Amino acid sequence: MKKSVKSIVVLVSICAVVSVLLALTNAVTAPIITQNEEKSANAALLEVLPDGGSFEKADITAYTLPATVTDVYLSENGGHVVKLNTTGYSSGMVLMCGINPDGTVSGTKLIASQETPSIGGAAAETYAAAVIGVDVSTAEALDTISGATKTTAAYKNAVRDALNTVIILGGGSVDLRTEEEILADALNEALPAANGAFTKHFFVEVTEGVDAIYFADNGAGAVCVVDTVDGQFIALDDSYTVITACDDTVAVAVKTAVDTVRATTTTALDLTAYAGLPEHLVKAEKTASGNYVMEIKAAGYGITGGDEYHPASGEYIMIRVSVTPDGRVIDCLTLSEEETDGIGSACADETFYGQFDGKTEETYQNIDAISGATLTTDGYKKAILRAFACVKIFEGGNPS
């Protein structure tokens, strides 16, 4: 009994003495550690904003900032350093972006990342040099580095978010919505009765003056986009009468376009009745006004040789294209694709296939290729060329 009491007393007193010793050491070292940490944090901030002087962490709780922003520091000279956490090839890409008082990027630094050093890591280094000096107006124009699309896109978005953050903190407002969100909001605003559910119409008739028609899924009417640049959205109610206030000429054009589209009837063509049609043509229809609507297989990256016909392969890009009898593309749409995600898959974006609208056999080559996906782009172009050839055959001519 006496022995165990002694043991406990010894153990407890050793613990107590050690704790006191630690508390004393801590009292001496803690302020130095805090000071060091502040100094090194300041040094890291100075690296991206060399003229910054000293920094102070900003209170950002009152602002709605881009989701990637984690911290913002204000510098003595009126600049900002924004710390962001974003996702490149893998998650956990942390970077700091310094912004001068005049709104240009002073420097960026990748603090932590899991990117492949030889690909994404190297691209990030190149990119860090490229972004110096850009501002809100030039940030969008930065090129992505091929082979490291995800890393550089993440970097670019982070720089844009940082620039926007500074604008928001300065009292300005920034549209943080994506293009899709902007469109969805505009449609909803023009025709609330549709409850936000729209289907974009695929044009088979030339409708001058109207860029796009979105029909409400619930039959509540339609919204026409008249001028994409200014984003004029004209709504029509369930009896297809124009309800948005606008110029008479615009109202007439919209009404005509919607009526034409609704009145259009198509008849399927019997493909076996024509000789010389390419095997790539899957389906063709002719409208009452004589235009052709075709579904064509385009050979993408997945097809060996770029153009061989493999019926068993599922790797074709299916496209739908409408063409006038004299060989002009009215509308174009990617129905399905199996291309590499993040590279060739861009052929499903309207920014790509929308470029073919209005093109003819002479001009269809003049489009911007998908960066890093030459084969996909070429396959797509060849499919458009085949559509022109098909129309010639349907019209009784000879394909070149």
Picking from 248, 167, 165, 178, the residue whose alpha carbon sits closest to that of residue 209 is 248
Q: Does 116 sit near another protein (CB under 8 A)? A: yes
Whichever of 25 and 126 has its CB closer to another protein, that residue is 25
> Can you tell me which of 26, 77, 195, 374 binds another protein, judged by CB under 8 A?
26
Query: What distance in Å separates the CA atoms of residue 34 and residue 5, rounded to the nearest whole number?
Result: 42
Q: Does 71 bind another protein (CB under 8 A)?
A: no
Q: Which tokens hold the place of 73?
A: 């520091």
- Nearest to 331, CA basis, from 339, 340, 321, 341: 321
Report if residue 67 touches another protein, rule: CB under 8 A. no
Q: Of 1, 22, 238, 254, which one interacts with another protein (CB under 8 A)?
A: 22
User: What is the dihedral sign for C-alpha 151, 155, 161, 165?
Assistant: positive
Please report whether residue 85 would count as binding another protein according to CB under 8 A.
no
Which residues, 372 to 391, sit near another protein by CB under 8 A?
Answer: none
Sequence-distant (≥ 6) Cβ neighbours of residue 166 within 8 angstroms: 80, 82, 99, 103
Return the closest-CA partner of residue 300 out of 337, 249, 349.
337
Give yes or no for residue 42 binding another protein (CB under 8 A).
Answer: no
* 1 binding another protein? (CB under 8 A): no
Out of 51, 55, 89, 290, point to the residue binding another protein (CB under 8 A).
89
User: What's the closest the beta carbon of residue 26 comes to another protein, in angstroms?
Assistant: 4
Dihedral (C-alpha) 150, 156, 162, 167: value to the nearest 10 degrees?
-130
Which residues, 2 to 21, sit near another protein by CB under 8 A? 3-4, 6-8, 10-11, 14-15, 18-19, 21
Q: Would you state the torsion angle of the CA atoms of residues 323, 328, 330, 335, taken in this order, to the nearest 10 degrees?
A: 60
Q: How distant, in Å, are the alpha carbons of 146, 201, 278, 379, 399 from that of 299?
A: 22, 25, 13, 5, 20
Q: Is 199 in the site for another protein (CB under 8 A)?
A: no
Q: Which of 23, 129, 229, 275 binds another protein (CB under 8 A)?
A: 23
In the beta sheet, which residues pair with residue 231?
none
Helix (H) or strand (E) holding 63: none
Q: Select from 54, 64, 77, 91 the one that contacts another protein (CB under 8 A).
A: 91
Q: Contact with another protein (CB under 8 A): which of 36, 126, 146, 241?
A: 36
User: Is residue 111 involved in binding another protein (CB under 8 A)?
Assistant: no
**Region of 25-33, 287-295, 321-329, 343-351 interacting with another protein (CB under 8 A):** 25-33
Binding site for another protein (CB under 8 A): 3-4, 6-8, 10-11, 14-15, 18-19, 21-23, 25-26, 28-30, 32-33, 36-37, 40, 89-91, 114, 116
